[in-house]
Amino acid sequence: MEVIEWFDESGEEMAHRYPEKGSGEIKMGAQLVVRENQAAIFFRDGKGLDVLGAGRHTLSTMNLPIITKVLSLPWGFTSPFRAEVYFTNMKVFTTMKWGTKDPVAFKDSELGMVRLRAFGNFTTRITQPLLFINTIVGTMGEYCTDNIEGYFRDIIISRLNDFLGEYVDTILDLPKMYDEMGEAVKMRLIEDFSKYGMELIDFFINSITPPAEVQKMIDERSGMEAVGNLDAFMKFKAAKAMGDAARSDAGGSAGDGAAAGMGLGVGAGLGMMIPGMIGKSMTPGQVPPDGTHQKSSINCPDCHTEVGMDARFCHRCGHHLVVLQKCPQCEKNLNATAQFCSNCGLNLKEKFTCSQCSHKLVPGTRFCPNCGEAVTKK
């Protein structure tokens, strides 16, 4: 007795043909065994004639009316006929994975154009065996999950990319949207699977990740948001460091060498930070801590008219404001080449000596530094 049956040893085979190559001679009365997780489809002359469910089937006119009508009665139903039997695996396939071969482009509202990689898995099963054989398997002797996984991967990436472009503004919002996104993309994929006689049962998104350089940008942005006001943060860190250093000094333990070294490092850091803070506080337009203002003008010593700090002469009386030479007698400001004082007439080139001890004196000296005698004016 001829028995036709199929065992899937790998667990990954979706369809299997008997015989694996070409068509075979199948006699009336042959036994066809179909298991609970299988379906069998008869093909003759390239056409699917019938689909048989689980059980033991005897190929006869009683249980194969379609085949009987096709074969007619020339051989009294005893001679063999050439046909093929396709077994389909009706179980749920749980090891199906999807992912991007190459990063897909996504226009982020905050980061600009970025490329994303996405990964996940899905579960599926065959619901229409004849449709599945005709649209997917064709005339292949066996068909495994590896054959169809690549095809469905491209469909999934296309639908996911459409969803990202329509509903996602920035990848920063993606982690909280995985569940909702998975359900939405699944609804878009159901029709894509059903037209091939299959059902998409579960669809999961494990991760959507940008390239390493974009991840670095996200980390830097997160750090800045955590810090907030950078100026206030630096002041807080400086105050905290000074407090820690003070506590370390108060401990006074010789064994705390590491802590002392840390205190020195903090002190050095503060020594670099504090001048910058002080310089910032002394920028133009700000009042120094003592409340004083730097003068922008002076008064002429002759007429007391207010003149600018950078003026060389008084605009009212013409007094020479840049002190190049001063009369030792009347303290008049004089130019560098003056030989006599324009105010008191003093001879600036005359050498002064003490009349008592002949000690050389500096012009304007009133008492001799050598003998203490009063200098007599000539």
Question: pLDDT truncated to tens, each residue of the chain (378 aa)?
Answer: 678 889 988 889 999 998 888 777 777 778 889 999 999 988 877 788 788 888 898 876 444 544 544 554 454 444 456 788 999 999 999 989 999 888 888 888 877 888 888 999 999 999 999 999 988 998 888 899 998 988 899 899 889 888 888 888 888 788 778 888 889 999 999 999 999 999 999 999 988 888 777 777 666 666 555 555 556 556 666 776 777 776 666 555 544 554 444 444 545 555 555 555 545 544 544 544 444 455 567 788 778 788 776 676 787 777 766 655 667 677 677 766 677 887 888 777 666 677 777 767 655 566 665 665 676 655
Tokens representing 179 are 């569940």
Quick one: DSSP state of residue 312? S
Euclidean distance between CA atoms 276 and 160, whole angstroms: 52
**Closest residue by Cα to residue 100 from 235, 211, 180, 223:** 211
The pTM for the full model equals: 0.53
Whether a cis peptide bond, with omega within 30° of 0, leads into 19 is yes
Residues whose CB falls within 8 Å of the CB of residue 315, separated by 6 or more in sequence, listed in order: 305, 307
Helices (H) and strands (E) in the chain, counts: 7, 19
Query: C-alpha distances in angstroms, 235 versus 229, 241, 272?
Result: 10, 10, 13
Quick one: DSSP state of residue 329? T
What is the per-residue pLDDT for 250?
59
What is the per-residue pLDDT for 121?
93
Beta strand 3-4 pairing with 31-34: parallel
Domains of the chain: 3-89 (no CATH), 93-210 (3.30.479.30)
* Packing angle of the helix pair 230-251, 257-281 (nearest 10 deg): 140
CB atoms within 10 A of CB 240: 11
